[in-house]
C-alpha cells in the first residue's frame, strides 16, 4: 500500500485522557481490508477458523527497536494493529505484548522509539494509553533477560530467560507474561503447570519490522528481524566470537536466523516502510519518507518484494540491498534463509518473483486518492466466503464515525434482510449474514455510511 493516509490522532499523553477515536490508524485498517479481500483475516472466529488471532490468544508483536527514531517500527502502525486486535468480534481476553531484544546494547523499548506523525508519541506511550484504559497491552523487553540461561518449563525450570540448544545453536525466550497470568515459551506456547502441557494454538506471533538497509546482512526486513528473537549472549563460547557468529551462523548456509524462525514462525508479517533507512546501522540519519506498507503470510516474499522495489531504488549502496544481485550481501543472506525455510523446514515461502502475487488497494473499493487524503468515509471489501453456505462475513472500514446501514437484496431487488443499522465508530468492522432462511441464488449487499454507498454481489449455494 502506498500513499499512507494520516493517522486519526496521537497517543502521546500515554494515559486515559486520549480520546478512544485516536486508537484508530487508517493505514492498518486499509491493509487489513486488503488482506480480507484475499481471504486472510486478522480475527479467528467460528466463521473464520483460519484467522490469525483468537479471542483469548497471547499475541506477540515482534517490532524492531534496536536503532531509534525513524529507524524503529512506527508507533502509529503499532497503535492501529493493537486497536484491531482488541476489536475481536468475540471480545478479547488474551494479552498483547510488544516485544524485541535489542541485545547487549541495552536500549530496550523507550521514548526514542517514536517513528510516528507526532514525534512525541512513542511506543511506550501507545502501550501505556491502552493499558491505562484497562486493556491487556504490555511491552516486553527481552534484552532484560538477554544473558539469562534457562531450561524449558517441561524440564521444571520456571525462570525467565533464553533457552539455548548447544547442538543446533537455536535460542529463544521463555518468560512469565507481564500480567503474571501466563508462562510462555516462544517455541512451544503457553505452559499449563497443572496439566504439564503446552498450548501452541493460543500463541499468535506477528512479525513487524521497519524497512532498513544493513551493511552486513544487506537489509533488515522480515527474516532478519528474528535476530531480535534470539540472544547474542556468550558469542565467544557459543560461536567463536562476534563476527563468526554473524558470518558463520547468521548469514551463511547454516542460516541460524531461519532455523529460529522455523520454530517460532510468525503467522503474519507487516513491513513498515513509511520511512526507510537507506544506510545503516552506522549512518542512521540516512532515512527517506517512502509512505508504504506491505503485508504477507510469507516473511520471505515480504522481504524480497520490499527490498527489491522500495529499498533498493533509494538505497545508498544498492549492491548491498538488492535481493537479486548475485554476490550482493542481501542476495547471499536471503537466499540462504530461504533455502533453509523452504527446503529443510518445508515452509511455504519464496523469493521467486514468478511465485509471488502482489495485490494493491484495488482489492477493495472507495480507498483514498494518490495524495493520501481519504475523501470517502467508506471502504468495502469482498465478503468471505463467496460462494457460501450459509454464513458469510462482510468487511468494511470507516475513516470517521458514521451512521451505517447494510441491506441484503435478492436478484429481483427485494430487501430480504437488514443486517446492520446504527452509529459505528471509525475503524475496521465486520458483520455476519446467516442465510439459513434463504434459497440458493445471487444476492447483493448494499452498505451506506453517511452519504456514501457501495454494493457488492455474492452467491449463496446450498
C-beta of residue 242 within 8 angstroms of C-beta of residue 235: yes
Q: Any idea which of 78-92, 119-133, 383-397, 431-445 has the lowest mean pLDDT?
A: 383-397
Tens of pLDDT along 400-417?
Answer: 889 999 999 999 989 999
Please indicate, yes or no, whether residues 244 and 156 belong to a single structural domain of this protein. yes
Q: Where are the alpha helices (DSSP H) in 183-339?
A: 235-239, 242-244, 256-263, 299-306, 318-321, 329-339
Q: Is residue 11 part of a domain?
A: no
C-beta of residue 277 within 8 angstroms of C-beta of residue 70: yes
Structural domain ending residue among the three candidates 355, 386, 406:
355
Please indicate, yes or no, whether residues 240 and 145 belong to a single structural domain of this protein. yes
For residue 435, pLDDT beyond 70: yes
For residue 379, pLDDT beyond 90: no
pLDDT of residue 384: 81
**CA atoms of 268 and 101, how far apart (whole Å):** 19
Please indicate, yes or no, whether residues 345 and 383 belong to a single structural domain of this protein. no
**CA atoms of 390 and 462, how far apart (whole Å):** 7
Q: Is residue 264 part of a domain?
A: yes
What separation in angstroms does the CA of 209 have from each of 149, 176, 196? Answer: 26, 24, 34
Please indicate, yes or no, whether residues 349 and 202 belong to a single structural domain of this protein. yes
Please indicate, yes or no, whether residues 270 and 417 belong to a single structural domain of this protein. no
Q: Is residue 371 part of a domain?
A: no
Please indicate, yes or no, whether residues 113 and 226 belong to a single structural domain of this protein. yes
pLDDT of residue 76: 97
C-beta of residue 64 within 8 angstroms of C-beta of residue 271: no
Return mean pLDDT, the chain. 92
* Rg of the chain taking only CA atoms, in angstroms: 22
When divided into structural domains, the chain yields a total of 2
Tens of pLDDT along 265-290?
Answer: 999 999 999 999 999 887 788 999 99
pLDDT of residue 376: 63
C-beta of residue 84 within 8 angstroms of C-beta of residue 427: yes
- Of the candidates 81, 345, 50, 332, the one whose C-alpha atom is nearest the C-alpha of residue 217 is 332
pLDDT of residue 372: 42
State the number of CA atoms in the 13 A half-sphere of 215 facing the CB.
7
Mean pLDDT computed over 182-210: 97
The phi and psi torsions of 17 (rounded to 5 degrees) equal: -75, -15
Packing angle, helices 256-263 and 329-339, rounded to 10: 40
Mean pLDDT computed over 122-132: 98
**CA atoms of 46 and 52, how far apart (whole Å):** 12
3-state secondary structure (DSSP) of residue 202: coil
Tens of pLDDT along 319-351?
Answer: 999 999 999 999 999 999 999 999 999 999 999
Please indicate, yes or no, whether residues 211 and 301 belong to a single structural domain of this protein. yes
The CATH number that applies at residue 432 is: 2.60.40.3080
Share of the chain above pLDDT 70, in %: 96
Instruction: Please report, in angstroms and rounded to a whole number, the separation of the first and last CA atoms in the chain.
Output: 37
**CA atoms of 408 and 131, how far apart (whole Å):** 39
Structural domain ending residue among the three candidates 286, 321, 355:
355
Overall pTM > 0.75 = yes
Q: Is residue 362 part of a domain?
A: no
For residue 170, pLDDT beyond 80: yes
Please indicate, yes or no, whether residues 346 and 407 belong to a single structural domain of this protein. no
pLDDT of residue 102: 85
State the DSSP string of 361-427.
Answer: GGGSBS---TTS----SEEEPPPBSSSBSSEEEEEEEESS-EEEEEEEEETT--EEEEEEEEEE-SE
Please indicate, yes or no, whether residues 338 and 214 belong to a single structural domain of this protein. yes
Q: Any idea which of 97-101, 359-363, 429-433 has the lowest mean pLDDT?
A: 359-363
Q: Which residues, at least 6 apart from 337, have a Cβ–Cβ distance to it below 8 Å?
A: 223, 255, 257, 258, 261, 300
Please indicate, yes or no, whether residues 309 and 437 belong to a single structural domain of this protein. no
Tens of pLDDT along 37-95?
Answer: 888 999 999 888 999 999 999 999 999 998 889 999 999 999 999 999 999 989 999 99
Please indicate, yes or no, whether residues 156 and 237 belong to a single structural domain of this protein. yes
Q: 432462511: which residue's cell?
A: 437
pLDDT of residue 375: 55
3-state secondary structure (DSSP) of residue 252: coil
For residue 120, pLDDT beyond 50: yes
- Residue 50's CB is within 10 A of a number of other CB atoms, namely 8
Please indicate, yes or no, whether residues 280 and 185 belong to a single structural domain of this protein. yes
**CA atoms of 373 and 365, how far apart (whole Å):** 15
Q: Cell triple for residue 255?
A: 542460516
**Structural domain for 50, as ranges:** 20-355
pLDDT of residue 373: 41
pLDDT of residue 368: 43
Cross-strand bridge partners of residue 430? 395
Using DSSP bridges, classify how beta strands 415-424 and 378-380 pair: parallel, antiparallel or unpaired: unpaired
Q: Where are the alpha helices (DSSP H) in 170-309?
A: 235-239, 242-244, 256-263, 299-306
Going by pLDDT thresholds of 50, 70 and 90, the confidence category of residue 377 is confident
Amino acid at each position: 500500500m502506498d500513499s499512507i493516509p494520516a493517522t486519526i490522532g496521537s497517543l502521546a499523553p500515554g494515559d486515559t485522557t486520549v480520546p478512544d477515536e485516536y486508537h484508530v490508524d487508517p493505514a492498518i485498517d486499509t491493509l487489513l481490508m486488503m488482506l480480507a479481500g484475499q481471504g486472510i483475516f486478522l480475527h479467528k472466529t467460528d466463521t473464520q477458523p483460519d484467522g490469525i488471532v483468537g479471542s483469548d490468544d497471547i499475541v506477540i508483536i515482534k517490532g524492531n527497536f534496536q536503532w531509534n527514531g525513524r529507524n524503529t517500527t512506527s508507533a502509529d502502525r503499532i497503535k492501529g494493529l493493537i486497536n484491531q486486535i482488541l476489536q475481536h468480534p468475540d471480545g478479547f481476553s488474551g494479552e498483547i505484548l510488544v516485544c524485541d531484544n535489542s541485545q547487549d546494547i541495552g536500549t530496550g523499548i523507550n521514548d526514542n522509539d517514536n517513528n510516528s506523525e507526532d514525534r512525541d508519541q512513542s511506543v511506550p506511550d501507545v502501550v501505556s494509553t491502552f493499558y491505562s484504559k484497562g486493556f491487556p497491552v504490555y511491552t516486553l523487553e527481552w534484552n532484560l533477560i538477554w544473558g539469562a540461561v534457562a531450561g524449558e518449563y517441561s524440564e521444571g525450570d520456571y525462570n525467565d530467560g533464553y533457552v539455548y540448544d548447544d547442538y543446533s545453536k537455536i535460542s529463544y525466550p521463555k518468560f512469565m507474561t507481564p500480567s503474571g497470568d501466563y508462562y510462555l515459551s516462544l517455541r512451544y506456547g503457553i505452559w499449563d503447570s497443572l496439566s504439564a502441557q503446552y498450548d501452541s494454538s493460543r500463541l499468535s506471533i506477528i512479525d513487524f519490522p521497519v524497512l532498513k538497509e544493513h551493511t552486513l546482512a544487506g537489509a533488515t526486513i522480515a527474516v532478519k528481524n528474528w535476530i531480535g528473537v534470539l540472544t547474542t549472549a556468550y558469542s565467544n563460547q557459543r560461536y567463536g566470537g562476534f563476527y563468526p557468529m554473524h558470518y558463520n551462523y547468521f548469514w551463511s548456509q547454516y542460516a541460524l536466523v531461519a532455523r529460529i524462525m522455523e520454530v517460532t514462525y510468525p503467522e503474519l508479517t507487516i513491513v513498515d516502510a513509511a520511512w526507510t533507512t537507506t544506510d545503516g546501522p552506522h549512518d542512521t540519519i540516512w532515512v527517506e519518507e517512502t509512505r508504504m506498507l506491505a503485508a504477507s503470510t510469507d516473511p520471505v516474499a515480504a522481504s524480497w518484494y520490499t527490498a527489491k522495489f522500495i529499498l533498493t531504488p533509494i538505497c545508498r549502496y544498492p549492491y548491498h540491498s538488492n535481493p537479486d544481485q548475485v554476490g550482493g550481501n542481501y542476495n547471499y543472506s536471503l537466499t540462504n534463509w530461504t533455502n533453509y525455510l523452504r527446503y529443510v523446514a518445508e515452509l511455504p515461502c519464496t523469493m521467486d518473483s514468478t511465485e509471488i502475487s502482489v495485490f494493491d488497494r484495488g482489492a477493495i473499493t472507495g480507498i483514498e486518492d494518490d495524495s493520501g487524503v481519504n475523501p470517502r468515509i467508506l471502504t468495502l471489501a469482498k465478503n468471505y466466503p463467496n460462494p457460501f453456505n450459509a454464513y458469510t462475513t462482510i468487511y468494511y472500514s470507516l475513516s470517521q464515525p458514521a451512521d451505517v446501514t447494510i441491506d441484503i437484496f435478492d436478484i429481483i431487488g427485494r430487501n430480504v434482510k437488514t443486517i446492520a443499522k446504527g452509529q459505528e465508530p471509525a475503524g475496521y468492522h465486520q458483520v455476519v449474514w446467516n442465510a439459513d432462511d434463504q434459497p440458493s441464488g445471487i444476492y447483493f449487499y448494499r452498505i451506506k455510511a453517511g452519504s456514501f454507498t457501495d454494493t457488492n454481489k455474492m452467491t449463496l449455494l446450498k
